[in-house]
């Protein structure tokens, strides 16, 4: 049982390049989330998917797109990377168990945009 997995672990891009961050969970969770974490800013929600086939914007969605491929997989795409997107990206999944719903995080992707 791997929990939440993310690929790649590290990535360096040049301004204007595109890439997709992959996330998969094997906990049969309904909801999945993408966060970014920057020094002094804390964790901020980019997009989330409450269930397969649905996606919604979070606090900082500009410059990103997402796809909920199936129940297990939720990808984050940067179409034209900018230096401001240099960050650590975390994927999380949650069971949507109402008031006791908790989110579990993947190991993260460290992205640098030059």
Partner 1 sequence: QKEVEQNSGPLSVPEGAIASLNCTYSDRGSQSFFWYRQYSGKSPELIMFIYSNGDKEDGRFTAQLNKASQYVSLLIRDSQPSDSATYLCAVKGAGSYQLTFGKGTKLSVIP
Are 50 and 31 in contact by the 8 Å Cβ rule? The answer is yes
> Is 96 an interacting residue with respect to partner 1 (CB under 8 A)?
yes
User: Which stretch, 10-18, 20-28, 67-75, 90-98, contacts partner 1 (CB under 8 A)?
Assistant: 90-98
Q: Which of 66, 94, 111, 113 binds partner 1 (CB under 8 A)?
A: 94
CB of 16 to partner 1, least distance (A): 28
CB of 23 to partner 1, least distance (A): 12
What region does 42 belong to: left with phi over 0, alpha with psi -120 to 50, or beta? left
Number of residues that bind partner 1 (CB under 8 A): 24
CB of 54 to partner 1, least distance (A): 10
What one-character-per-residue DSSP string does the chain give? Answer: ---EEEE-SEEEE-TT--EEEEEEE-S--SEEEEEEEETTTEEEEEEEESSTT--EE-S--TTEEEEE-SSSBEEEEESS--GGG-EEEEEEEE---GGG--EEE---EEEEE-
> Is 82 an interacting residue with respect to partner 1 (CB under 8 A)?
no
Comparison of 31 and 85: residue with beta carbon closer to partner 1: 31
Binding site for partner 1 (CB under 8 A): 31, 40-45, 48, 50, 56, 58, 90, 94, 96, 99-108
């Amino acid at each position: 049982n791997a929990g939440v997995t993310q690929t790649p672990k590290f990535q360096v891009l040049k301004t204007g390049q595109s890439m997709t961050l992959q996330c998969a969970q094997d906990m049969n969770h309904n909801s999945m989330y993408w966060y970014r974490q920057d020094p002094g800013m804390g964790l901020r929600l980019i997009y989330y998917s409450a269930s397969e086939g649905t996606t919604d914007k979070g606090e900082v969605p500009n410059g990103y797109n997402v796809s909920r491929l199936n129940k297990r997989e939720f990808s984050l795409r940067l179409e034209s990377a900018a230096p401001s997107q240099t960050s650590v990206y975390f994927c999380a999944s949650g069971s949507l168990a109402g008031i006791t719903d908790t989110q579990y995080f993947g190991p993260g992707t460290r992205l640098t945009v030059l």
